[in-house]
């Protein structure tokens, strides 16, 4: 589950999940729900793999979202389905989506960057919570 909240001239993403891998999957969906108005319109036609390593979970989350954003900006690839595995500080993931089709996809916010401001990944009684601010 994720929600979007206002933050000055930026947008915040608040993500919750029962497990850490699910948190990263939901974060990917949250990011692309800001980029495209109807995430359900994105078909899983292409697959991209990711391998990331960071010292801490919050840095790993920021790097994950930054890689997804980079993939969108360089390949015009909208991603919707995410299969993530997190072991210690290593993330392995497969994401599926399709190339932007201006006849079917309407872009929403232009996300310029994923910031470190207010970045957190925390264990809670019910699972995991993350907050991240994106620059629009």
The pTM is what?
0.92
pLDDT in tens, 4-36: 766 666 899 999 999 999 999 999 999 999 999
**2-135 maps to which CATH number?**
3.55.10.10
Would you state the pLDDT for residue 102? 93
Would you state the pLDDT for residue 2? 77
Q: Tokens 């994106």, residue?
A: 134
Residues of the chain with pLDDT below 50 are none
Would you state the pLDDT for residue 10? 85
């Amino acid at each position: 589950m994720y929600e979007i909240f206002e933050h000055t001239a930026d947008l915040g993403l608040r993500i919750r999940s029962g497990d850490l891998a699910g948190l990263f999957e939901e974060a990917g969906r949250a990011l692309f729900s800001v980029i495209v108005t109807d995430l359900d319109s994105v078909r899983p036609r292409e697959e991209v793999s990711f391998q990331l390593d960071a010292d801490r979970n919050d840095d790993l989350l920021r790097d994950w979202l930054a890689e997804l954003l980079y993939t969108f900006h360089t390949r015009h690839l909208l991603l919707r389905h995410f299969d993530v595995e997190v072991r210690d500080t290593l993330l392995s993931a497969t994401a599926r989506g399709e190339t932007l089709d201006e006849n079917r996809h309407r872009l929403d916010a232009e996300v310029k960057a994923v910031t470190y401001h207010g970045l957190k990944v925390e264990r809670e009684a019910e699972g995991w919570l993350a907050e991240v601010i994106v620059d629009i």
